[in-house]
Amino acid sequence: MAFDNLSSRLQMALRRVTGKGALTEKDIDEMMREVRLSLLEADVNLKVIKGFIQNVKEKALGEKILKGLNPGQQVVKIVADELTQIMGGETAGLNYKVNGLSIFMTVGLQGSGKTTAIGKLGRLIKKEEGKKVMFIAADVYRPAAIDQLITLGKQLDIFVYEEGLKNAVKIVDNGIGYAKEHKYDVVIIDTAGRLEIDEAMMQELKDIKALAKPDEILLTVDAMTGQVAAEVGQSFHEQLGCTGAIITKLDGDTRGGAALSIRQISGISIKFSSSGEKLDTLEVFHPKRMAERILGMGDVLTLIEETTKNIDEDEAASLMEKMMSGTYNYNDLQKQFKMIKRMGSLSRIMGFIPGMGKYKEQLNNVDDKQLNRIEALIQSMTKEERRDPNLIGKSSRRRQRVARGAGLQVADVNKLIQSLEQQKQMAKQFSNMDQNNPKMPNLQPTKVKKGKGKGKGRFKF
């Protein structure tokens, strides 16, 4: 995560005050000195740091805080609130036309990950909003950009309108006409990036804006550029009037100064953040949730949303029921792992859980390939062995054969057997607690009438 070092330093600074029953001005000063150094190391803009420190200190030295109950916890809340504010306060969504074609124009410097971000955005709009999306390849100065967009379009089953290396404005004009004729809902225009901001580039972008009249002008900025991203954003915004930003490469940098600077310096709201090369790594940017993640409070809401999007309710309820009844087998375990993989990397999922921030080093070392090894072991089993775990458990010959088939060791098969048994035992314990304690909620899954659309129903335990 982009904020690893910042997160560690801020949490260390806040520990100075969280354990104390009473706070003095000296305590606050010492904490704020550490906070300031943390933000400087994260390459946050100096103007932003100055305003942040001033606001936090002013509120933390208030009489209600210093003389109130749990002053340390109140100071942590003040820091979280101020972090939320400098990143934009409220979550900013995309502006779609109520009727007709919505046009989104993307801009940015070369190397900021703009074309890849377009692919991710198109996937998100198509999947989450159910809209018919089309790309327009208007980066006519870099042939590889057109090829890259076409490749992304094929992967996502999204049509790419292109005319090769012709006049960009004319391509956009023709592309919009094509989109309207073929009843598309959303068009995303890929414009040319540059190594630096120049007048010719800006004029072309202004001409495209005047022609397309976009509903959104989205600036892509590279998180690894730190506070430089905020200055680039300011220049683009002054000349084009950008409506939002996409922060890319959040996984490739430990500073995160771009995300903490761009809103305050350029005035552009961050609408999305991207961490990773995979096309499913674009997330809606929630300032409050990001602030809480930075401070080690976790992000339960995002975890719930990810679970709801990627895990089928009926399937999950069926697996829970089989666990409770003791009939859980390797076919079920494989289904469970496939659900987990749909949510992304294990380290990312665990990073949403409150309190897991202290285990950053361990989370970064979580091996997602372990799930592939387990799947390889299960696929090496016969249909009967997957249905009846006892066949593998009681036969050393079967274990040796399964290990050889997966290219792994017998010890790996034994770990898999142990994992399955542990899950079954845990389910039994919950079931016994439920039956023996009338105050415990009923954990047995039951059928619930679903609402309209996927994820509208709810589990009932």
To the nearest whole percent, how much of the chain has pLDDT over 90? 18
- In angstroms, the CA 19 to CA 319 distance is 42
Split at pLDDT 50, 70, 90, the class of 210 is: very high
DSSP 192: P
Residue type, 117: A
The tens digit of pLDDT for each residue in 288-322 reads 887 877 776 654 555 555 556 565 666 666 666 66
Contact 226, 54 (CB under 8 A): no
Q: Which of 78, 86, 74, 84 is nearest to 57 (CA)?
A: 78
Distance CA 391, CA 378 (A): 13
Residue pLDDT, tens place only, 339-394: 766 666 555 565 555 555 554 554 455 555 677 788 889 999 999 998 898 898 88
C-beta of residue 167 within 8 angstroms of C-beta of residue 141:
no
CATH top class, domain 304-436? mainly alpha
Judged against a pLDDT cut of 60, whether residue 459 lies above it is answered with no
Number of H helices, E strands in the chain: 22, 8
Residue 376 structure tokens = 């390889």
Query: For 75-126, how does the pLDDT look when each residue is reduced to its tens digit (9 = 90+)?
Result: 788 888 888 888 888 788 888 988 889 999 998 887 778 888 899 999 999 9
4-86 and 102-297 agree in CATH topology: no
- Distance from C-alpha of 232 to C-alpha of 181, rounded to nearest angstrom: 36
* Per-residue pLDDT, 313: 63
Q: Can you say how many angstroms the Cα of residue 461 is from the centroid of all Cα atoms in its chain?
A: 29
Nearest 5 degrees, angle CA 296-CA 299-CA 302?
Answer: 160
DSSP 251: G
pLDDT at position 435 over 70: no
pLDDT of residue 439: 46
Domain boundaries, the chain: 4-86, 102-297, 304-436
H-helix or E-strand spanning residue 317? helix 313-325
CATH topology of domain 4-86: Four Helix Bundle (Hemerythrin (Met), subunit A) (1.20.120)
Closest CA to 114 of 236, 267, 255, 293: 236
Token couple for 85: 């504010």
Q: Give backbone dihedrals phi and psi of 218, rounded to 5 degrees, phi first.
A: -100, 120
**For residue 151, is pLDDT > 80?**
yes
CATH number of 102-297: 3.40.50.300
Residue 136: strand pairing partners? 161, 189
